Structure 1
Amino acid sequence: MRVIVFAETFLPQANGVVNSVVQVLRRLDALGHDALVVAPAPPVGHSAPDAPFGAELALIPSVALPGYPEVRLAPATPRRLAPIVRRFGPDVAHLASPFVLGGAGVRASAAAGVPTVAVYQTDVPGYARRYGAAPAEAALARRVADIHGRATLTLAPSTAAVADLERLGVPRVRTWGRGIDAERFRPERRSRAWRARNAPGGETVIGYVGRLAPEKQLSDLAALAGLPGTRLVIVGEGPERSRLEALLPEAVFLGRLDGDALAEAVAGFDVFVHPGPHETFGQTIQEALASGVPVVAVGAGGPLDLVDVSRTGWLYEPGDLAGMRAHVADLVGDAAKRRAFGEAARDAMRGRGWDRLVDELVEHYADAIELARAGDARFLTAVGGIPEPQPAGLRPDRFVAVGDSLTEGLDDTSRQADGQYRGWADRLAMLLALSRGAAGDSAGQDAPPLRYANLAVRSRRVRDVVDEQIPAAIGLGADLVAVLVGGNDLVKWRARPDALAARLDTGIARLRDAGVEVLLVTAFTPPNPLVARLQPRFARFNRALAQIAERRGCRLLDFGAHREFLDERVWSPDRVHLGSRGHRLLAYRAAAVLGVPDAAALAALDDALHDGDGDDPLPTREWVRRHAAPWAWRRLRGRTAGDGMSAKHDRLIELRPGDGARAPHETT
């Protein structure tokens, strides 16, 4: 793979963006990939940096950031970058914290047909507010939204950063964290000599590492003055150093440290404090935790994901300096608690090495490439970070599906009488019955039938599922319930994704409290430009579903992770619902999540057998007459397609492995 990296800042600068880029280059080189870094050139008269790890380097003339001359900006144009892109011939472009150079890079890449992966790392609008440029905040937010909206995929480091981007209307956002050098940052780096130099009286050391800049709000550290038996140690450089030295006369300022010297300093801390509210991630917090140091941080942005409250540290409300002081004092005054928090912090950081993180990044590159090949990437937004299906497959006795027209099976006419539909849930029920039969055969006995109900009705919404269908499923004694709902709510003008997810969560909680296993399917829209503007709200709803699934112990089918659903043959001629091919694919994807053996292989075989099946797309005029106009007429009359309808299987029916398409048997 050939990767072009547009780096907003680069060596010799030392910051989170540069460190991430260097780690990515190191791992790409180890994996045998080729890389070209496009970055701002150093000032005239300064030597150019060496390209690390075999990467090529293209430097763009730069200017100093006003008020922060160490930071260089490269105001290039797409035309200036186009020859560089063409000459290198990349498979994918990596945009590292894009804003100036990256903004031109995303356009130059798009013009060359190169898919782009934008890595969000800097809250530029928030920094503008902090630097006294609040009137520019809205314009800067629009700039961020424009750049990331053009990218094939955007990777954000934390749930707070994802939410910020989604509020700006950025689609196709996935979570991708930051790696850590766990060999370098570890408790064993703690040094008696370092402690003797910086806390000669045996003081408890309160430490900070990072840029000494206004956005870090380091003046808040003055609230820690006078804590008995403590020493404040600050590592870093920046434009605020002189002011902070005057404000914090008792603090030790060590300047910028790198490598082992930095690791020794971090491990020498007893408590790490981070007051900056604009962190999209918080790499230095992660390094402190890996070093076995408990953290007290402001409860905003990236720290919300990193600090496990009352286990690895404490979070305080932004602006609550008394709360910050109280949390620091709590840890300073209790050595046993510090040790317990430190051990938990180190354990929490295991498995977060850079190699694994960059391997994940390469998978995101591959996804971006495939999305660009498959079609318009606007219409599939994977939640990302979904755990692999559990090894043990579920073999329910009573399976109930709830939802709307998608789960009812609308437009899956395969082997059905006129006006009747099959659907992915019915197909999944048969796969579960077959799985039970296979298990019975291996045990030398007949397996009992699967009992199945489908309570879904077209046009139903979240409230209907929570208030009616889920209680009915519990009443039927379900031990597995599949839930796919939300689309009819999310297309509403004033839809509130978080509130919808919260309401659905009340129903999921009822199911889990009743001992029911739950399969959650993320909501989705068809690949239709008319609904592209809805993608951010669907993405936000789906991310909330992923959090519900993790919190409640549900299995989650991430529809947007499967590129085959971009194929127009998957969709019905009505351009809204799945067709028979789509229902088949969704059933097999769900079966795989539930642990049905060989579900993926069966899906490929089934799809090959039905290759060529499906209806041809309708001409627009005919589509309007048959589908759009009736829908609009119902809306004008305040009616829905599901008015007066009931579920097709509102009581349990028996499914046996040999039933196939035959009518099932109703049971109690």
Structure 2
Amino acid sequence: MRVAIVTESFLPHMNGVTGSVLQILRHLERLGHEAHVIAPSALGAPGQVSGARIEAIPSLPLPGYRHVRVGTSSSSRIAASLRRFDPDVVHLASPFALGWRGVLAADSLSVASVAAYQTDVAAYTERYRIAATTGLAQTHIARLHRRATLTLAPSAESAGQLAELGVDRVRRWGRGVDAERFHPSHRSLPLRAGWGAEIVVGYVGRLAPEKQVEDLAALRDIPGSRLVIVGDGPSRPRLERLLPDALFLGHLEGAELATAMASFDLFVHPGESETFGQTLQEAHASGVPVVATGRGGPLDLVRMGIDGWLYRPGDLEDLRLRVADLAGDQRKRHAFGEAGREGVQHRGWASVCDQLLEHFDEARTLHLSDVRARARRIVRPEPPLPVAPRRWHRYVALGDSLTEGLCDPAPDGALRGWADRLALLLAARGGLHYANLAIRSKRVRDLCGVQLERALELRPDLVSILIGANDLVKHRVDIAALAAEVEDAVRRLRGTGADVLLVTPFLPGRRAASIYTRRFAAFATALAGVAARTGAILIDTDLHPELADRPNWGEDLVHLSSRGHRFLAYRAGELLGVPDADALGVLDAALHEHEPVGAGVWWRRHALPWVWRRLHGRTAGDGRNAKHDDYVYLGRSAAPRGAVVR
């Protein structure tokens, strides 16, 4: 079997996701399968692991967690990588930003995909309050896992969370534990003597907000005990101030980690956003009893009163009582530790990875049935849209030259464009008041300023936003700041009750444009987060790689041609629930298939005027007004008498 792995995290950053991927690669190599890994680039990342080539994808640091990288490549680039490898199945390890592109790429190549839900991203974003570059919420999680052929949940609670989001085809799949590395025999008396405590209460994990390590302050002054913390992360300086009596060992791995774990007397885990809890298994394998919060993964890993205690989530007094109970009873600690060790014997990585291969086989079978069903026009149900379909009466388009309609002339010489065409589609359902405030060369700050204020005056119930391309091709750009500006505009519009159609900027399929691919992909990822948090309707143009094809671009090679504008309009109409929009698009394309694509006068008409404007500090939009600064009525008859459009 040929297995491609798209992972959000990989070496040199070691965490649960990286550890799982490494174990999967070793197992695939042992059994003679071929593997290929697509992972975010990072200094010190290997080029090959267990016979698998590691393809590094451009990445950005995660805000607040600088050594964690977020992949930013487009789905078309990932699809090209997958096409070269030709996998039988694509495994998405804890899919998030890069994983979304991965599932789109697998879709485009008609390859089965298996998504492993390992990180509760919605809970993380809530605790971090992170920038739009990485923010994703529940609607995005649902969309991603619904698109995958099969989803693997590590615990019963996480499977339930996915079911509530409308994710079907969920199977249980946990993580293995190395019961030879983590073993009671590694307990070190000299190490314990150096810690200077009769009873050692240990914690292992990232020192980050989502781990809730600050809750361990409730364990102060338990007689004879000392808190020993293994791990590192952005919260460490604050935790060292909050827990002055605790011993912070920093990041440990390998034999050092196994020795430290076995030398604990009991293990505590306060994080409430764990989908699994790998360190709980490692503590049990080390013969150490566990006290963990009664939420998420620990519910499946800790047997209450047998190998540990679960305390009521958020009840720090209950946490203290549970720890004090074990700290004061050596016989109970020993009995719980032995039971924990016995309980993980069947969870070795070989067994767990064999189960994964079975899931891969099932996904391939399901994918084949999906392909056959589509051939018979039996469509797998899609998850509900974040905004219920409705008929709109007042539509305002915001943006730059793409929304103004450059390179899409009407018979009378006026500009049309995708937004005008979308307005006509929407008007066919009973009439529509339409305004187009877009002006060529405008940037995010222009849309979030004059255009936004005018749109608010018009009180629309639908607004489209396509902006950012002119910012992203500048010499320097702050993608997170741009996304934050767009998010503020979307929130203001949503606050009036309007639906917002948010379109990710895109590039032509030209070599010269490829230097901006990373920026456009990062901004698209940011806009996915904006849509998820605000309830905006997202057109992710990465879903439609054919938009980059040369016939969809005008003779200036930077604006859509009439064909491209039509294509985008029908994709938007399809998303907004316009009846038969896809069929209309196919018919429209057939009627215009013989239109010529011009490019012969590109330098004279477009390149040289652009250079002249740059030299004189001007833009093509200087002094221009919006083509429809107020509503025009589109319908079979005039606007109803007395109709209020503002």
- Superposition TM-score, scaled by structure 2 size: 0.57
SS at match of 1:6: strand
Within-5 A mapping of 1:560-579: none
1:321 shift after superposition: 0.2
How far apart, in 2, do the equivalents of 1:284 and 1:530 lie? 38
1:50 shift after superposition: 3.8
1:6 shift after superposition: 0.2
Distance 1:34 1:242, change over 3 A: same
CA offsets, 1:600-656, max 9 Å, x none? xxxxxxxxxxxxxxxxxxxxxxxxxxxxxxxxxxxxxxxxxxxxxxxxxxxxxxxxx
Within-5 A mapping of 1:308-323: 308-323=303-318
Contact 2:12 2:44 in 1 (8 A): no
SS at match of 1:170: coil
How far apart, in 1, do the equivalents of 2:274 and 2:240 lie? 23
Distance 1:215 1:114, change over 3 A: same
How far apart, in 2, do the equivalents of 1:530 and 1:106 lie? 16
1:249 shift after superposition: 0.7
1:75 shift after superposition: 1.3
1:374 shift after superposition: 2.7
1:152 shift after superposition: 0.4
1:368 shift after superposition: 0.7
- Whether 2:147 is the aligned partner of 1:150: answer yes
1:133 shift after superposition: 5.7
For 2:278, the aligned partner's letter is Q
Distance 1:312 1:378, change over 3 A: farther
Contact 1:76 1:100 in 2 (8 A): no
1:378 shift after superposition: 9.6
- Whether 2:107 is the aligned partner of 1:99: answer no
Distance 1:62 1:332, change over 3 A: same
Within-5 A mapping of 1:381-530: 529=379
CA offsets, 1:223-274, max 9 Å, x none? 0001110010000010011111111111111100101110000000001000
CA offsets, 1:425-469, max 9 Å, x none? xxxxxxxxxxxxxxxxxxxxxxxxxxxxxxxxxxxxxxxxxxxxx
For 1:320, the aligned partner's letter is D
For 1:178, the aligned partner's letter is R
Give the aligned partner of residue 24 of structure 1: 24
Give the aligned partner of residue 35 of structure 1: 35
For 2:226, the aligned partner's letter is R
Contact 1:171 1:378 in 2 (8 A): no
| Alignment equivalent of 2:222, drawn from 207, 213, 227 | 227
- Equivalent residue pairs, number: 383
How far apart, in 2, do the equivalents of 1:249 and 1:318 lie? 25
For 2:170, the aligned partner's letter is V
- Whether 2:205 is the aligned partner of 1:210: answer yes
- Runs of 4+ in structure 1 off by over 2 angstroms are 132-139, 374-379, 526-534
Contact 2:274 2:297 in 1 (8 A): yes
1:530 shift after superposition: 8.1
Within-5 A mapping of 1:83-162: 83-132=80-129, 140-162=137-159
For 2:248, the aligned partner's letter is F
Distance 1:234 1:530, change over 3 A: closer
SS at match of 1:20: helix
How far apart, in 2, do the equivalents of 1:259 and 1:38 lie? 25
| Alignment equivalent of 1:290, drawn from 278, 281, 285 | 285
How far apart, in 2, do the equivalents of 1:370 and 1:527 lie? 18
Contact 2:154 2:175 in 1 (8 A): yes
Give the aligned partner of residue 465 of structure 1: none
Within-5 A mapping of 1:637-648: none
Give the aligned partner of residue 240 of structure 2: 245
Contact 1:5 1:37 in 2 (8 A): yes
- Superposition TM-score, scaled by structure 1 size: 0.55
Give the aligned partner of residue 189 of structure 2: 192
**More deviation in 358-367 or 50-59?**
50-59
1:123 shift after superposition: 0.4
For 1:356, the aligned partner's letter is S
Contact 2:370 2:380 in 1 (8 A): no
For 1:37, the aligned partner's letter is V
Within-5 A mapping of 1:577-592: none
- Whether 2:300 is the aligned partner of 1:281: answer no
CA offsets, 1:507-535, max 9 Å, x none? xxxxxxxxxxxxxxxxxxx996487769x
How far apart, in 1, do the equivalents of 2:299 and 2:351 lie? 22
How far apart, in 1, do the equivalents of 2:27 and 2:66 lie? 31
For 1:166, the aligned partner's letter is A
SS at match of 1:222: helix
How far apart, in 2, do the equivalents of 1:531 and 1:256 lie? 45
Distance 1:228 1:377, change over 3 A: farther
CA offsets, 1:383-425, max 9 Å, x none? xxxxxxxxxxxxxxxxxxxxxxxxxxxxxxxxxxxxxxxxxxx
SS at match of 2:299: helix
Distance 1:50 1:261, change over 3 A: farther
| Alignment equivalent of 2:363, drawn from 360, 365, 368 | 368
For 2:26, the aligned partner's letter is R
1:138 shift after superposition: 9.9
Unaligned runs of 5+ in 2: 385-646
How far apart, in 2, do the equivalents of 1:135 and 1:359 lie? 38
Distance 1:192 1:368, change over 3 A: same
1:129 shift after superposition: 1.3
- Whether 2:380 is the aligned partner of 1:351: answer no
How far apart, in 2, do the equivalents of 1:83 and 1:531 lie? 28
Give the aligned partner of residue 4 of structure 1: 4
SS at match of 1:287: helix
Contact 2:175 2:278 in 1 (8 A): yes
Give the aligned partner of residue 76 of structure 1: 73
- Whether 2:228 is the aligned partner of 1:260: answer no
Contact 1:172 1:378 in 2 (8 A): no
How far apart, in 1, do the equivalents of 2:207 and 2:380 lie? 47
Contact 1:371 1:377 in 2 (8 A): no
Contact 1:378 1:532 in 2 (8 A): no
For 1:263, the aligned partner's letter is A
How far apart, in 2, do the equivalents of 1:8 and 1:210 lie? 18
For 1:256, the aligned partner's letter is H
For 1:16, the aligned partner's letter is G
1:82 shift after superposition: 1.6
How far apart, in 1, do the equivalents of 2:79 and 2:221 lie? 57
How far apart, in 2, do the equivalents of 1:3 and 1:210 lie? 29
1:291 shift after superposition: 0.7
- Whether 2:27 is the aligned partner of 1:60: answer no
CA-atom RMSD, angstroms? 2.2
